[in-house]
Chains A and B, each alone.
Chain A
Amino acid sequence: MQNAIELKSVSKRYSDFYLDNLSLQLPVGQVMGLVGVNGAGKSTTLRLLMGLIQPDTGSVDVLGYRLPEQQVLAKQNIGFASDDMRLYKTENLRWHMQLIQSIFPSWDATYAEHLLKVFDLNAEQKFKGFSHGQRVKACLLLILARKPKLVILDEPTTGLDPVAREEVLSELAEILRDENRSVLFSSHNTQDIEQLSDSITFLHKGKLLDSQDKETYLDRWRRIVCTGDINSAGLGIDCITDIKRNGSLNEIIVNQYDDSIPERLSALGLSVSSVDRMSLEKIFVANVRAGAKA
């Protein structure tokens, strides 16, 4: 399968941050959620993919073009929006739509009008009167109506009220029906990523912690509750990410679960009372804690 995005051993050093040897692939037609706390390297990664940052080492290829050298060709088919992106406040949305239409022959005017209604936006309103939610929706309209092959979104739902968030997510779900369109989006909101993405990539302090398809990834993690005297060093289970003790009650987080683990815990004299799948949010927190301890 051809990759819409391919990063190979990419490094980028700043005075206070280091993106460390990042390798990542996003196959065409897939949706990847990029998860990480502030300062994890999400925005740096997305800016590398827009050709706005030159990597110190490694290579960045987007839609078959080498970046940053061929960013003009790549960006013909990339729709990019970030939460810090603003439009010209003295002009209205219609003016911005006309500007984008004059640049992209692929602009779909009918779809743009459809999005205006779905997002409940007034095209004649000047941008300075827009709320945060309206700004996000306006930026999405401008990129979705030009039908890009690759959509890159940096925190698209941050700060949105529940209604606006639902409108944005349902429209994103709609565009994902196009099997040739690839999407990479970063978010703090693990629910959004769980809802939309095919694969999940975790970044922490500039390092790639994990990148895998969503189902396999979620299936790997378990929260095991057991009672008994526990000695983590003596458990002999490598995939334990975290152990919390409360008296004799223990909560064990494992990141490479297989069915033999409860039996092995029982063999060590522990009484396993429950084995639960974990939400992405719980996994996110466990991953960050494990990264902080490492």
Chain B
Amino acid sequence: MSHSLNIPLIKILIQKDWYLSRKLLALYVGGSIFALSFISLGEWQFFMGVTLLMSMVIGLANHLVTSTIINERKEQTLPFIMSLPISPTDYAVAKLIANKSLFFIPWLAILITTIGVFTFTPIPDGLIPLSIIMCSYLLLSYCLVWAVGMIVETEGIVILVMVVLNCLIGPLIYILGSIQDISSHFQSATQVWNSASIGVLLLEFFLIIASLVIAFYLQARKKTFL
């Protein structure tokens, strides 16, 4: 199905997804700001804030995929969208840009704010690499869930992938904690980036790119779109 992209309509579809997700976005960004507001006030506030912050980012990721991709099929608004002058590739591009921007902008804002909070409060700066790796894992999880949501048409599989990826957060923290080159710097006054932490981060970004490429490849090979 080779053709040039219908850019004006892709822009309209991106705006549409932003408009339809505006309340969702406000809810999760508000929750994240609330979590960051008390994260540096003490030990239990730190753990509670980190838990709430991660929950907000995970919630935003899963909710976005559900509302903009899964529900479009489940609530049968997809036939309406596909009756417009777009191809399945246009649809995939619109969903990619809309979803990534909807998630990436608040994700980046939360990441920068988290680094800021860690830098300007008594929380050890040595935790910054771990925080960035974990935030990147949440971005990777979101991209994987998005890719599965685009490729498969079964809601159950998408939910299963969401659950599995969320369950991997604990083991990932455990594994990072057991890597001496990373965990030995957690209590440092300055952040330390070495080959171990940079390697994990690069692996995450490689998987992000791979998930997007595979999603587009399989989308383009679909012979039945609806």
The reply to whether B20 and A51 contact each other, CB–CB distance below 8 Å, is no
Within 8 A of A (CB), among B12-53: 12, 16, 20
Residues of A within 8 A of B (CB-CB), count: 32
Interface string of A79-93 (1 = CB under 8 A from B): 111101111111100
Interface size bracket, B side: 20 to 34
Instruction: Given A75-B84, A81-B83, A91-B20, check contact A68 B1 (CB 8 Å).
Output: yes
Interface presence of B226 (CB below 8 A): yes
Taken together as a complex, chains A and B put the C-alpha atoms of A196 and B226 apart, in Å, by: 28
Interface residues of A in 250-277 (CB under 8 A from B): none
Interface residue A52 (Cβ < 8 Å from any Cβ of B): yes
Contact A103:B226 (CB < 8 A) given known A72-B3, A86-B77:
no
Given contacts A52-B82, A54-B1, A70-B3, contact A87 B77 (CB under 8 A): yes
B-side binding surface: helix, strand, loop or mixed?
Answer: loop
Bound CA–CA A68/B2 (angstroms): 9
Chain A nearest Cβ from B87, distance in angstroms: 5
Asked if residues A99 and B16 are in contact (CB atoms below 8 Å), the reply is yes
Knowing A68-B1, A80-B83, A102-B12, say if A86 contacts B20 (CB, 8 Å). no
Q: Which of B20, B84, B90, B225 interacts with A88 by CB under 8 Å?
A: B20
Q: Which residue of the partner chain, among B2, B85, B223, contacts A76 with CB atoms under 8 Å?
A: B85
- Asked if B223 and A54 sit within 8 Å, CB to CB, the answer is yes
A73 within 8 A of B: yes
Q: Is A239 an interface residue (CB 8 A)?
A: no
Q: Is the CB of B84 within 8 A of A69?
A: no
15 new A-B contacts at CB < 8 Å, known A47-B226, A72-B3, A84-B76? A52-B82, A52-B88, A54-B1, A54-B223, A69-B2, A75-B84, A79-B83, A81-B83, A86-B76, A87-B77, A89-B75, A99-B16, A102-B12, A103-B84, A143-B83
- 8 pairs across A/B with beta carbons < 8 Å? A53-B223, A54-B1, A75-B86, A86-B77, A86-B79, A88-B20, A139-B80, A143-B83
